[in-house]
Structure 1
Amino acid sequence: MLFRQLEYFVALARERHFARAAAACYVSQPALSEAIRKLEHELKVPLVKRGRTFEGLTPEGERLVLWARRILADRDALQQEVVALQTGLTGELRLGVIPAAAATVALLTDPFCAENPLVKVRVDTGLESAGIIDRLRRFELDAGLVYPDEQDAPDVTVTPLYSEEHLVLAAEGLVTGAAGSVDWAEVVELPLCLLRPGMRGRKLIDDALSDRGLTAGPQLETDSVATLFGQVATGRWATIVPASWLRTIRPPAGARVLRPNDPVTATIALVTLATEPVPLIVRAFTETARSVRVEGDSVGAQA
């Protein structure tokens, strides 16, 4: 009964609305409200500010919802451990992924799914590194792929996976000559489409160009990897992409892949909560991620 009350309480904290929380838990609104009232009675503290509509959590509720999420996460991990002893690893792995790793993650999830056919994997892409860390702490994600340089937190385990080189993907005809390399001064003169400002992948490029006395002036900006490739496919655009994307996403017909003469690289890391014991499903994915070789011979520049 306690677990059910905690589930309803966490759902209400997430949805910020009684009816939506009840629907998410597949119960009636009165049943959800009554369960939360019983939880408040058992804990002897008010958890929810009540009015005609949901008005938020009390200060006690804001603190206790963190414990509720942890208790439910530990329960799920315990259940997975027990079932795994009998039938193999089962459950759901929830991954948060920054745009730079939106294509790379397939190189990790494919072997993981092959090794663990009973596990369901949910991947949320387009997230920022800080947002992934925050969702880990709220037990809404199990692991994430991030840029680790800004993540210095004792409650997070950071496992560097690979060093990512950035390449130029340009429509045929935008770059002349047979060489498979290009200068950054030439790149900024191309009709560019890039990730939007504020995203870590874009900041990486902007900082690298600034160090070289250059500035990018893209006409089109987006938060979507697919949009960048779609623009290049029209035959009039160029973009800057992580090399590993080109292992899982075929370049548009006729597009050229060029390696900058002065390379820009960044580290991609796996992040998980630094908890003990580590959930079995997280341990399994970490082992898979460590065993996969992503960098190196991913894609060569094409003339």
Structure 2
Amino acid sequence: MLFRQLEYFVALARERHFARAAAACYVSQPALSEAIRKLEHELKVPLVKRARTFEGLTPEGERLVLWARRILADRDALQQEVVALQTGLTGELRLGVIPAAAATVARLTDPFCADNPLVRVRVDTGLESADIVDRLRRFELDAGLVYPDGRDSPDVTVTPLYSEDHVVLAAEGLLTGATASVDWAEVVELPLCLLRPGMRGRELIDDALAGHGLTADPRLETDSVATLFGQVATGRWATIVPESWLRATRPPAGARVLRPRDPVTATIALVTLATEPVPLIIRAFTETSRLVRLDAGPGLDLG
């Protein structure tokens, strides 16, 4: 009964709405409300600010929801360990992935699924590194692929996986006469589409341009690398993307790939919570990440 009460409480903290929380838990709203009232009675503290609508958690509720998430995560990890002893690893692996690594993650999930056929994998892409770490701390994700910049913290484990350069992807004809490399001054004159400001992939590009006294003025901004590919495919745009995307996805027909003469290099890392014992499903995925050479791949046809 306690675990069910904690599940309802965590769902309410996540959804911030009684009806949505009840729907997420597949129970009626009165049943969810009554379970949380019983939890408050057992703990002898108010957890929820009540009115006609949900008004938030009390200070005690904000503190205790962290413990509730941890207790439920530990319960799930224990159940996975027990089942794994009998039938092999089962359960669900929840991954958060930044856009730059969305084309790379398949090189990890494919061998992981092959080695663990009873495990389901859910991949959320388009997240920023800070969002992924926050969701790890709320036990809403199990692991993430992030930019490791400034992620050092006692409660997380950061394991660098690979480093890669960014390349220019431009529709044929936009850079007539250009060789396989290009200056940043030439790049900023192109009709650019880029990731939106605030995303680390965009910050890397802006920093590189600033080092040459330049700024980008893209006509289109997005949070999706796939959208950038689609724009270039129209034949009228150029963009700057991580090299791994071009190893996993063919450039649009007629597009050229050029390498900046002063390249932008970024590191991608695996991040997990620094908990003991480490849940079996996270140990298995971490081992996969150690065995796969993500920095290896076919060369790009530049020019």
Q: TM-score range by the shorter chain?
A: over 0.9
Letter in 2 for 1:271: V
> Do the aligned residues in 1 keep the contact of 2:49 with 2:58 (CA within 8 Å)?
yes
Mapping for residues 67-216 of structure 1, pairs under 5 Å: 67-177=67-177, 179-216=179-216
Mapping for residues 1-303 of structure 1, pairs under 5 Å: 1-177=1-177, 179-303=179-303
Letter in 1 for 2:70: R
Letter in 2 for 1:62: E
Letter in 1 for 2:261: N
CA distance in structure 2 between the aligned counterparts of 1:58 and 1:161, rounded to whole angstroms = 40
Ranges in structure 2 where 5+ consecutive residues have no aligned partner = none
> Do the aligned residues in 1 keep the contact of 2:5 with 2:35 (CA within 8 Å)?
yes
Distance 1:102 1:267, change over 3 A: same
Deviating 4+ runs (over 3 angstroms): 296-299
**235-244 or 111-120, larger mean C-alpha shift:** 111-120
> Do the aligned residues in 1 keep the contact of 2:247 with 2:297 (CA within 8 Å)?
no
Work out the percentage of aligned pairs sharing the same amino acid: 88
TM-score, normalisation: structure 2? 0.97
Q: Which secondary structure does the structure 2 equivalent of 1:244 belong to?
A: helix
**CA displacement at 1:178 relative to structure 2:** 6.4
Ranges in structure 1 where 5+ consecutive residues have no aligned partner = none
Q: Which secondary structure does the structure 2 equivalent of 1:109 belong to?
A: helix
Distance 1:197 1:298, change over 3 A: farther
CA distance in structure 2 between the aligned counterparts of 1:298 and 1:268, rounded to whole angstroms = 19
Query: Which digits, 9 at most, give the CA deviation of each residue in 1:169-199, with x for residues without a partner?
Result: 1111112236222122211111111001111
**CA displacement at 1:301 relative to structure 2:** 4.1
**CA displacement at 1:297 relative to structure 2:** 3.8
Distance 1:298 1:162, change over 3 A: farther
**187-196 or 69-78, larger mean C-alpha shift:** 187-196
The number of equivalent residue pairs is 303
> Do the aligned residues in 1 keep the contact of 2:246 with 2:300 (CA within 8 Å)?
no
Letter in 2 for 1:76: D
> Do the aligned residues in 2 keep the contact of 1:243 with 1:298 (CA within 8 Å)?
no
**CA displacement at 1:23 relative to structure 2:** 0.8
CA-atom RMSD, angstroms?
1.2
